[in-house]
Structure 1
Amino acid sequence: MEEKWWQSSVVYQIYPRSFYDSNQDGIGDIPGIIEKLDYLAELGIDVIWLNPVFQSPNVDNGYDISDYEAVNPEYGTMEDLRLLIKKCRARGIKVILDLVVNHTSDQHVWFQEAKKSADNPYHDYYIWRKEPNDLMSNFGGSAWEYVPEVDQYYLHFYSRQQPDLNWENPRMRQDIYKMMNFWIHEGIGGFRMDVIDLIGKVPDQNIKENGPHLHEYLQEMARETYGEKDLLTVGETWGAAAENAKLFCDPRRKELSMIFQFEQINLDKVKGKHRWDLKELDMIELKDVLSKWQSVMENNGWNSLFWNNHDLPRIVSRWGNDHGKYRVLSAKMLAILLHGMKGTPYIYQGEEIGMTNFYSDDISDYPDIETQQVYKERLDQGFSKEDILRSIHKKARDNGRTPMQWSQAENAGFTKGVPWMKVNPNYQQVNAADCLEHKDSIFYTYQTLIRLRKESRVLRQGTYRLIDRENPNIFSYERILENQKIMVICNFYQEETKYEVSLEGARVLTANYPDMEYRSGILCLRAYEAVMLIWEK
Structure 2
Amino acid sequence: MGSPQNTILVDRHGQEPWWKAATFYQVYPASFKDSNGDGWGDLPGLISKLDYLDDLGVDCVWVCPIFESPQADMGYDVSDYRKIHAPYGTLADVDTLVRECHARQMKVILDLVVNHTSIEHQWFKESRSSKDNPKRSWYIWKPPRFDEHGNRQPPTNWRGYFAGSTWAWDETTSEYYLHLYAPEQPDLNWDNPECRAAIYQETMRFWLDRGVDGFRIDTVNKFSKHADYTDAPISDPNSSLQPAPEMWCNGPRIHEFIHEMNREVLAPYSAVSVGELSNTPDPQSVLPYVSAKRQELDMVFEFSAIRLGNGNLFGGKYSYQPFTLPTLKAMTSKWQRFIDGTDGWTTVFCENHDNGRAVSRFGDTSTHEFWRRSAKTLALWQTTMTGSLFLYQGQEIGMTNMPAAWGIEEYKDIEAVNFYNEAVASGDQARIDKTKHGLSILARDHSRIPFQWSEEPNAGFCSGEASPWMRVHDDCGTINVEAQTGDPESILEFYRGMLKLRKKHRNVFVFGRHVLLEPEDEHVWIYLKEEQGGDGASTRKRALVVMNFSREERPLLDVAAALGCEGEAARFLVGTDGVESKISSLKGWEGRIYCNFEVAV
In which range does the TM-score fall when normalised by the shorter chain? Answer: over 0.9
Q: Matches of 2:295 and 2:258 in 1, distance apart?
A: 9
Counterpart among 71, 81, 84 of residue 68 in structure 1 = 81
Matched, 1:243 2:287: no
| Offset of residue 460 of structure 1 | 2.0
With over 3 angstroms needed to count, the CA separation of the structure-2 counterparts of 1:476 and 1:49, relative to structure 1, is: same
Corresponding residue of 2:3: none
* TM-score with structure 1 setting the length: 0.97
Task: Confirm whether residue 403 of structure 1 aligns to residue 427 of structure 2.
Answer: no
Aligned twin of 2:152: none
Alignment of 1:100-499 (within 5 A): 100-131=113-144, 132-179=155-202, 180-202=204-226, 204-205=229-230, 207-241=247-281, 242-270=283-311, 274-298=316-340, 299-324=342-367, 325-359=369-403, 360-381=405-426, 382-384=428-430, 385-416=432-463, 417-456=466-505, 457-481=507-531, 482=534, 483-499=540-556
Q: Read off the aligned partner of 1:144 and give its amino acid letter.
A: W
Deviation at 1:270, TM superposition (A): 4.4
Paired with 1:408 and 1:226, the residues of 2 have a C-alpha distance of 43
Distance in 1 (CA, whole Å) between partners of 2:161 and 2:19 is 32
Amino acid at match of 2:510: R
What amino acid is the match of 2:171? P
CA distance in 1, matches of 2:386, 2:376: 18
What SS does the aligned partner of 1:466 have? strand
What CA distance in whole angstroms lies between the structure 2 residues aligned with 1:339 and 1:383?
42
Q: Give percent identity, aligned residues only.
A: 37
Q: Contact between 2:320 and 2:434, CA under 8 Å: does it hold in 1?
A: no
SS of aligned partner of 2:163: coil
5 Å matches for 1:16-31?
16-31=29-44
d(CA) in 2 for partners of 1:426, 1:506: 41
Report the secondary structure of 2:596's partner residue. strand
RMSD of aligned Cα (Å) = 1.5
- SS in structure 2 at match of 1:500: coil
Q: Is the 8 A contact 2:306 2:351 kept in 1?
A: no
* TM-score under structure 2 length normalisation: 0.87
SS across alignment from 2:266: coil
Secondary structure at the counterpart of residue 177 of structure 2: strand
CA contact (8 A) 1:16 1:29 kept: yes
Contact 2:24 2:62 in 1 (8 A): yes
* Whole-Å separation in 2 of the counterparts to 1:260 and 1:142: 26
Q: Using the TM superposition, give the Cα deviation of residue 461 of structure 1 relative to its aligned residue in structure 2, in angstroms.
A: 1.5
Aligned to 2:564: none
CA distance in 1, matches of 2:433, 2:260: 49
Structure 2 unmatched runs, 5+: 1-11, 145-154, 233-246, 535-539, 561-566
Higher Cα radius of gyration: 2
Aligned residue for 2:578?
Answer: 514
Q: SS state of the match for residue 74, structure 1?
A: helix
Secondary structure of the 1:216 match is helix
Contact 2:546-2:592 at 8 Å conserved across structures: yes
**1:333-383 Cα deviation digits (max 9, x unpaired):** 011112211001111000000000002442221110000000111122313
Cα deviation 1:74-93 (Å, max 9, x = unaligned):
10000001000000000011
The AA in structure 2 aligned to 1:262 is: F
Paired amino acid for 1:487:
L
Counterpart of 1:3, as a letter, is E
Q: Shift in Å at residue 516 of structure 1?
A: 3.4
Task: Tell me the number of residue pairs that the alignment of Structure 1 and Structure 2 aligns.
Answer: 534
8 Å CA contact 1:361, 1:389 repeated in 2 = no
Contact in 1 for aligned 2:359/2:374 (Cα 8 Å): yes
Superposition deviation, residue 231 in structure 1: 2.4
CA contact under 8 A between 1:267 and 1:282: conserved in structure 2?
Answer: no
Moved more, 189-198 or 261-270: 261-270
- Residue type of the partner of 2:480? N
| Cα drift, residue 128 of structure 1 | 0.4
Which letter maps to 2:376? K
Unaligned runs of 5+ in 1: none
Superposed displacement of residue 479, structure 1: 1.0
SS in 2 for 1:80: helix
Given that 1:113 and 1:123 are in contact with CA atoms closer than 8 Å, whether structure 2 keeps it comes out as yes
Structure 2 CA distance for aligned equivalents of residues 266 and 73 of structure 1: 33
CA distance in 2: counterparts of 1:232 and 1:439, whole angstroms: 35
Cα distance in 1 for residues equivalent to 2:389 and 2:370: 23
Could you tell me how far apart the structure 2 residues matched to 1:383 and 1:141 are? 20
